[in-house]
Amino acid sequence: MPSFTHGHALRIGVGGDLPNTVTNAQEVAKLLTDPEGCVYPPDQVACLTGGAARWEGVLAALDAWANRITLQDTVIVYLSGHVYQGESGGIDPGTPLLSPTGRLRSSVTSPDLHPRPRVSSTDG
């Protein structure tokens, strides 16, 4: 069976007040690992849902990639959850903030609320 060995994915479904986000993350996994479709190796498609979708879990999953991912690999990070606009606490107004636990706290210093990571590429 063919396999897209350079494909890696992290799917995050926050759950909580958005129970359909868990289903969304699971459905993305089916698409990516489908032997008739994207053919990502199942062991290279990680899923964090519910309590595991907290920042600690997300950062641990990204750290686990650090020793495996190369410039030739394709990486997908899929988040099904909440995004808010920064308005206080030193965050520029309009800055997108991710909340993987599905709730917005009053303080942007909360471990559940972080500025959206910027996507960049490196041309070796």
Ramachandran assignment for 43, one of left (phi > 0), alpha (psi -120 to 50 degrees), beta (any other): alpha
Please state the φ and ψ torsions of residue 25, each to the nearest 5 degrees.
Answer: -65, -40
What pLDDT shows up at residue 51? 83
Please state the φ and ψ torsions of residue 13, each to the nearest 5 degrees.
Answer: -125, 110
- pLDDT for 38-60, tens place per residue? 999 999 999 998 888 887 888 88
Residue 26, burial from CB neighbour count under 10 angstroms (0-12, 13-18, 19+): middle
What pLDDT shows up at residue 18? 82
Check residue 91 and report its DSSP letter. P
Q: What is the pTM of this model?
A: 0.70
- pLDDT for 59-106, tens place per residue? 889 898 888 899 999 999 998 887 666 665 566 666 666 665 555 444
